[in-house]
Amino acid sequence: MAKRFSTIWAHQYTLFNIKMHLVDITLFYAPESGGVKTYLMAKTKWLSNFSSLQHSIVVPGLKDVPYDDSVVSIPSVRVPFMRGYRMPRSRKYIASVLSKLQPDCIEVGDPFQFAWAALEVGRRTNIPVVAFYHSDLPQSIGLRFGKLAERAAMKYLSYLYRQFDLVLAPSATMAQKLRDIGVSRARHQPLGVDTSLFSPAWRNPGLRARLGLPESARLLVYAGRFTKEKNLPLLIRAVEELGPPYHLLIIGSGPALPLSKQVSLMHFQQDACTLATLMASCDVLVHPGLQETFGLVVLEAMACGLPVVGMASGGVAELVDDKTGILVKPGSMEDLAQGIRHVYKKGIAELGRNARRKVVQQYDWDHIMPQLMAQYVSLIASRGQRAASSPAEASFVNH
């Protein structure tokens, strides 16, 4: 496997033996975290194949101790009603921890205290600092607190992100949104998926019986948080409108959802293998969210061989096409129900095969991680922050 990684990287960039220490830092790392934690764990796994690359993750925790070989926790306090997320106690302390790690590049996964601490260390040590725009904060705030709060959040993000050397966004839509608020160094950088873990091979024919359903049931699945922007009540109404044999499996956690005899609920699955098995055992992923910056669960479902019914907006619209699923009018229950009917009429088997093929060819981590590494290497080289004898530059080797 490591040989395959090295071949891909050497072929695409002719820069392979690059010695560097990458540090990711984010608040979005909790027991029930979603895409950010998945991304960071995948990055650690992929980078472990290269002895020249060191990767550390700095996250909030109970104590100032490493969780394992790569994850370091910062003393923090729990945020009420935030699904286990924690807030660090001291920005100064965060900066001191980052400095001790001696990174060659820092990537920040949230726009709060960690971001400001990373920028401070970057300025002091002259190393590049990258931000990854994982969530559309202004729109989320706008949904909860109104347009005035949304405009204030946009102004704050514009001020913050203009100070980074590079801001990555997982969809072209989000990258353009950042540029529209003055973040000129925003670039599109997709995320990826482990296509060996998320695979049709995990399909379990016994899931319908486990749920008390007949074999003829048309089993839909949603996986993710139960938040307002995910539009789950709309999805439940659409499934009720469809009636039997349609049934929806919702996997995740959050506020209570409307009860329905056509809906089965399962708690958040921390084990990725269990989640992959559940998704691969369903027919279609339905994603009713309106403001996904990317939609990592969409890729995971497609890798499992599932077609997708999603909204024609945000990052999901960049992942799903008419060969892999159906996009419907945002916010319409009737259109969502019709889209679910139509995806079965088109043929879920062929759509699922197309979906799997697209993810393997374009979004496997073996394709995405070299792109990400090239972003870091370019920044480090252009900054010239190390003397020629230092690790980050002395080992730029052409093959």
The residue that leads in pLDDT, 394 or 19, is 19
Residue 32: which of 170, 227, 211, 219 has the closest Cα?
Answer: 227
**Nearest 5 degrees, angle CA 54-CA 116-CA 47?**
15
Q: Which residue has the tokens 């830092």?
A: 25
- What 8-state DSSP symbol labels residue 204? -
The mean per-residue pLDDT over the stretch 151-175 comes to: 95
Q: Percent of the chain beyond pLDDT 70?
A: 86
What confidence tier does 62 reach under pLDDT thresholds 50, 70, 90? low
Superfamily holding 18-132+364-393: Glycogen Phosphorylase B; (3.40.50.2000)
Question: Is residue 271 helix, strand or coil?
Answer: coil
**Cα distances (Å, whole numbers) of residue 250 to 221, 226, 354:** 6, 9, 24
Q: Which CATH class is domain 200-361?
A: alpha beta
- How many CB atoms within 10 Å of residue 253? 15
- Write out the DSSP string of 46-112: HHTT-TTEEEEEEEEESSSSBSSSSEEEEEEEEPTTSTT-EEES-HHHHHHHHHHH--SEEEE-SSS
pLDDT tens digit string along 205-256?
A: 999 999 999 999 999 999 988 887 788 999 999 999 999 999 999 999 888 8
**Nearest 5 degrees, angle CA 118-CA 124-CA 130?**
35
Structure tokens at 2: 């490591």
Residue 216 identity: S
Cβ-contact 360, 195 below 8 angstroms: yes
pLDDT value of residue 157: 96
pLDDT value of residue 30: 64
Treating both helix axes as pointing N-terminal to C-terminal, what angle do 272-280 and 296-303 enclose, rounded to 10 degrees? 60
Treating both helix axes as pointing N-terminal to C-terminal, what angle do 137-145 and 147-161 enclose, rounded to 10 degrees? 160
Cβ-contact 298, 309 below 8 angstroms: no
Question: Is residue 325 helix, strand or coil?
Answer: strand
What is the distance between the alpha carbons of residues 63 and 233, in angstroms, rounded to a whole number? 39
* Beta strands in 144-191, from DSSP E residues, in sequence order: 166-169, 186-188
Neighbour-count burial for 166-181, b at 16+ CB within 10 Å, e otherwise: bbbbbbebbbebbeee
Round the average pLDDT of the chain to a whole number and report it: 86
The mean per-residue pLDDT over the stretch 110-137 comes to: 93
The helices-and-strands tally (H runs, E runs) of the chain is: 16, 14
CATH 3.40.50.2000 domain extents, the chain: 18-132+364-393, 200-361
